[in-house]
Structure 1
């Protein structure tokens, strides 16, 4: 049986072929162009992956070609295996070698990098959306391939705390996630009736957020501007040109907009900014709203949940933000949240900190409770507060330090653009917190002064023993601080 999501992609692609689908680097591509590319990709899959639904690996980048690759695989009910090219050549080659895929598709430069990585995988390249395929490697004995019935996307986690894991996202879960977020109507609609507005998508396709937002637009039949990455100048130009009602900005991008200080008239079409992926300091949210008159709606999501499970609504923001600032919002419709004791796993009452457990609506009625590594509390009104990760807690002489709490205090200081707090060994106390700080443009903060200012809001044991100023914090493609790279940087600047 064809998944409903697959059928909807086929409907949208076939309706009104001359309609604009996506803009990239200033050029609009029509649905006819995307559909023609999808048909060519279908032929390649039939020739190299044995037909049927197929499991296809793709080094995913933000280009029209990669949108066509995603849609072509999902239209036929196949499994789109995301390979993150930002992880570096050797990591990508090792990743592909371990996946046992029969077929990897991608742009020419990425496919050429994979030559010799695996004998059993066919490697096929495309120069761009309009180009025919070029076979780079045709195996004499194709890999067996690993069937993924019902799986739409195999997505790696962000890998901020260690090697990425792969999560299987089912067709039903992705479909339900759109409904939970209220961006995609579950009822059948006339595919020829397309929304008039234009969306902006700057999340990476190698991350859950990018796949989710592209599918939001496609399933709704909405045209969108697709960015290779967040770039302030073209983003602002697109906001001025297309006047969207909502945009999505990760915290680092939101701070860039604040620092650029554009004319508030440029953002006057916006009713809300949504922000997720990484923690956002409430001070930044308040500053954005004060400057531009636009509320910032934060959310809580994970690849494992196939989308968001908690977030702010405009109504909640109007009624509760002043007393609930810093919260990640309340459970989304059909989702359930609870906090359990770290050791006994007994369910805890309001405002008691512990491990967060989630029952995501998008995983179906029979989904059980999923335990996270996030420390959290939920207040009597159901608002969720993320306190940090249990597996990153620093035990300083018997006292528990939550790095996210210290980070949020540092990021509230006027000269700090971003911060990360890490544990370093200490002969007497076992472990102590140390911080890397990225200053705001033009600022030159003094480490000792930052420690002194942070100490006004922190317990003595929470104050970082060391503060190091760095030009830029290492980040993943999704905008999170890469903790592995940050640890290496801390070792380098501490030496």
Structure 2
């Protein structure tokens, strides 16, 4: 599969057809193509070489989607920037990465320091939405040390920043093409090789575009000929209205979003078009999936992937669900075609017995930076059962070693969430001079318990954990918070959580 050619074919099948819905308006393929092609034309006029990346401040806006798709079609590499950064941090990120071009919405160009940063690195500034001129005071300087990439690079993307500051990973067109095709073949079988066409189907994209999940969803949706329903951000009622109004059949809900839908008590009839909900990006508690399925009657299937993998490596399918029912609850499915997995002992690197927990290794053409035939060691603990289903059991660096005893933070958090006064919880390792590490927890309480004295609350919850788990798993600190700190993709921001618990 040549992803750039497939997207180009889809984009020109019927330029009058609806391509993208945003805030009450449909944009046609012709409109989307014209905007993106205008940006590429400006690059050519400025003489920007093809190995220098197009920086994009990726807001969830049709203008940014148009540039993303045009870059795919033109085989131009992109360099993603998060507009959610504070003004000074965004300007610093531009200075550090030195894009040849920065494309941004008009509102971002008004942010203090951004024009100066773009000018300092000798980049051309393009105001998305008005591509007839470059942003005043900035022009492309050919001999400046701009960000360059290897041939075939599609994008240099930000990771989610779950455990610290987001990092950048370069993904290739071939890697993305493999990820798209193998995921499609995994779920749709031979239909993955069907002729290019426009489909009467719409996909919702509501996670930030600079995240690999949304970036890949844009590529997959376009390549499949489906329409895009773009939302600025996830909001449960707006998502449900989009499902209802566009008759969406398959939709993504990360675990936090799924809980928000349940808590908002969305009417069941609004979701009657849904045939399946996909989940991923963060661990999904089986109890949450069960609650969603019980309320809405929609099966939940889970996938496993990361930015470094150019998307997903494994996934449950509806065929699996029909064959196995809920007996594989908690699994992230089986490997996609072309993906190989192994489980090894974290100490000696030897393969473990079937069903045993160890470090997950993967080998696939879509893994960023991997040499052909090379196994990539992930940071995830996992097991593979006798039927080939993968279960993620935590992260290698998440395991808390308390005086020689191993504590699973996910298990402790799940135990805290079972307490009737706890709405949500997260557990991380805190440094300790005597024991090395100890568990610490943050909890979100029910409305009626938020005024409870902190010392009494901590003692009560510690006793609760002690009654369910080994004594060494009991958190030494349990602090109530209004909300758990999360990244833009709704994962727990562990660095921010650690800071909360240190106070």
Fold similarity call, TM over 0.5: yes
Are 1:383 and 2:394 counterparts? no
| Kept in 2: contact 1:120–1:142 (CA 8 A) | no
Residues 158 and 231 (structure 1 numbering): CA distance in 2 closer, same or farther, change over 3 Å? same
The residue that corresponds to 1:303 in the other structure is 307
Where in structure 1 are there 5+ consecutive unaligned residues?
Answer: none
Counterparts of residues 49-88 of structure 1 (less than 5 Å): 49-52=47-50, 54-88=52-86
Deviation track 1:460-480 (CA, whole Å, cap 9, x = no partner) reads 211212211111111111111
Instruction: Summarize the Cα distance change of 1:375–1:258 in structure 2 as closer, same or farther, 3 Å threshold.
Output: same
Deviations 1:35-84 (A, max 9, x none): 11012111221133525464211111110010011112121111011112
Match of 1:209 among 208, 213, 216: 213
Cα RMSD (Å) of the superposition? 2.4
Matched, 1:232 2:205: no
- Of 181, 184, 188, 2:183 maps to 181
Deviation at 1:90, TM superposition (A): 3.0
2:101 aligned residue (100, 103, 126): 103
What SS does the corresponding residue of 2:135 show, helix, strand or coil? strand
Of 355, 359, 362, 2:363 maps to: 359
| Cα distance, 1:225 vs structure 2 | 0.8
Structure 2 Cα separation of the partners of residues 287 and 274 of structure 1: 15
State yes or no: 1:421 paired with 2:423. Answer: no
Question: In 1, Cα distance between the equivalents of 2:325 and 2:133?
Answer: 52
CA contact (8 A) 1:156 1:167 kept: yes
Contact 1:301–1:307 (Cα < 8 Å) also in 2: yes
- Range 330-339 or range 85-94, more displaced: 85-94
* 2:237–2:261 Cα contact (<8 Å) kept: no
Q: Distance in 2 between matches of 1:268 and 1:149?
A: 45
Superposition deviation, residue 414 in structure 1: 4.8
Describe how 1:115-264 pairs up with structure 2 within 5 A: 115-117=115-117, 119-126=120-127, 128=129, 132-136=132-136, 137-139=138-140, 142-145=143-146, 146-182=148-184, 187=193, 189-190=195-196, 193-264=197-268
Residue 458 of structure 1 corresponds to 469
The change in CA–CA distance for 1:442 and 1:277 in structure 2 (over 3 A counts) is: farther
Q: Within 5 Å, give how 1:2-21 maps onto structure 2.
A: 4-21=2-19
Structure 1 distance, partners of 2:202, 2:449, is 37
Q: Does 1:478 align with 2:484?
A: no
TM-score, scaled to structure 2? 0.90
Query: Structure 1 pair 383/52, CA: closer, same or farther in 2 (3 Å)?
Result: closer
Instruction: Please report how far the alpha carbon of residue 242 of structure 1 lies from its aligned counterpart in structure 2 after TM superposition.
Output: 1.6
**Which region of structure 1 is more displaced relative to structure 2, 380-389 or 319-328?**
319-328
- Per-residue CA deviations over 1:311-351 (Å, capped at 9, x if unaligned) read 21123234435433222222222212211111110111122
Q: Which residue of 1 aligns with 2:408?
A: 402
Could you say if the C-alpha distance between residues 260 and 366 of structure 1 is closer, same or farther in structure 2, counting changes exceeding 3 Å? same
With over 3 angstroms needed to count, the CA separation of the structure-2 counterparts of 1:173 and 1:442, relative to structure 1, is: farther
- Mark the CA change 1:83 to 1:442 in structure 2 (over 3 Å): closer, same or farther: farther
Quote how far apart the aligned CAs of 1:370 are: 0.7
| Number of residue pairs aligned between Structure 1 and Structure 2 | 487
In 1, Cα distance between the equivalents of 2:448 and 2:32? Answer: 44
Could you tell me how far apart the structure 2 residues matched to 1:177 and 1:472 are? 34
Aligned residue for 1:47, secondary structure, equals helix
Moved more, 220-229 or 315-324: 315-324
Q: How does the TM-score come out when normalised to structure 1?
A: 0.92
Asked if 1:45 corresponds to 2:34, the answer is no
Mark the CA change 1:472 to 1:423 in structure 2 (over 3 Å): closer, same or farther. Answer: same
When structure 1 is superposed on structure 2, of 455-464 and 312-321 the one drifting more is 312-321
**Unpaired stretches in structure 2, ≥5 consecutive residues:** none
Contact 1:107/1:126 (<8 A) preserved: yes
3-state SS of 1:419 partner: strand
Displacement, 1:93? 2.2
> Structure 2 vs 1, CA of residues 84 and 434 (structure 1 numbering), >3 Å: closer, same or farther?
same
Most deviating of 395-404 and 170-179: 395-404
How far residue 163 of structure 1 moved from its aligned partner, in angstroms, is 2.6
